[in-house]
Structure 1
């Protein structure tokens, strides 16, 4: 049997108690190597990447909750596929889920499918709400901030300032600068 590797994550440094609780649960589950970080799920997660590189065939990868590991169904699929190709078992403690069993694999796939379905329903409701608000004249969309700064972008370009610096100075996206410049 391989190593029992754990991963703990909280979104902010203020979540100290939750972070400590994750670490205790992982240690109680027999984790001998722990990767942990305090970053938002939408940010880069270098410790998760390091854990994925560290894992070897026969290892167990343990997390306390599914949302500590994956940010979306696509992310979950990517992670579980990588673990499967490495021959690593995934265990999610709060769900008592273990992908070394057929039931565990089935449950993970069902959970992923349900989460995807929920996301699609939410997006559909959002689109319907926007359409209704447009009909009622209550929705105008997001103000196009970058286009309003097109003249400033061109002036800074003429002054020899690069696109990244223009984006930083005007607080707009670099891709918006390129779009305005037509490149």
Structure 2
């Protein structure tokens, strides 16, 4: 069994996390050093490398991604490879009942997260007006289009002016 530590370097706390991973018995600690377009390149290479019985160890769950969907994708890849996720804080693994509870919580959060494709898209004022005329409220318009409520309000004000 190989224990692989992973950390995303963001601030001074990242050095502490690297030390903590070594103290947790990680044979190897890999760090995501350069944020950019392919931000998770190191994580993806770890996921390609891990084998059955290996453990991916992180100090915090949010080191694996910025959304519940991204973290679920990591869990799925680990499961396909027969590997396990170990989280130091809070103490949790992807195995057993704790792992099932973790997955259920992440799936619940992912179900209400805006879809990435929708988040990048800017809705036209026409779309917002059409939904408003159909009797849809601003909060629901924002949810359907994957934008903030403020975006909806601004577009509606711009059309009124």
The TM-score, its normalising length taken from structure 1, stands at 0.62
CA distance in 1, matches of 2:159, 2:88: 45
CA distance in 2, matches of 1:39, 1:69: 15
How many residue pairs were aligned?
Answer: 133
Q: Which has the larger radius of gyration?
A: 1
List runs of 5+ in structure 1 lacking aligned partners: 140-183
Provide Cα deviations, 1:94-143, integer angstroms capped at 9, x if missing partner: 121111222222123313422553x349x63944322222232289xxxx
The TM-score, its normalising length taken from structure 2, stands at 0.69
Alpha carbons 1:98, 1:105 under 8 Å: kept: no
Deviates most, 52-61 or 130-139: 130-139
CA distance in 1, matches of 2:63, 2:84: 17
Alpha carbons 2:32, 2:39 under 8 Å: kept: no
Q: In the TM superposition, what is the alpha-carbon distance from 1:93 to its structure 2 partner? A: 1.2
The match for 1:88 is 83
Q: 1:1-183 counterparts in 2 under 5 A? A: 2-11=1-10, 15=11, 17-40=12-35, 43-114=38-109, 116-117=111-112, 119-120=113-114, 124=143, 126-137=147-158
Q: Secondary structure at the match of 1:95?
A: coil
CA distance in 2, matches of 1:31, 1:138: 57
CA distance in 2, matches of 1:92, 1:22: 12
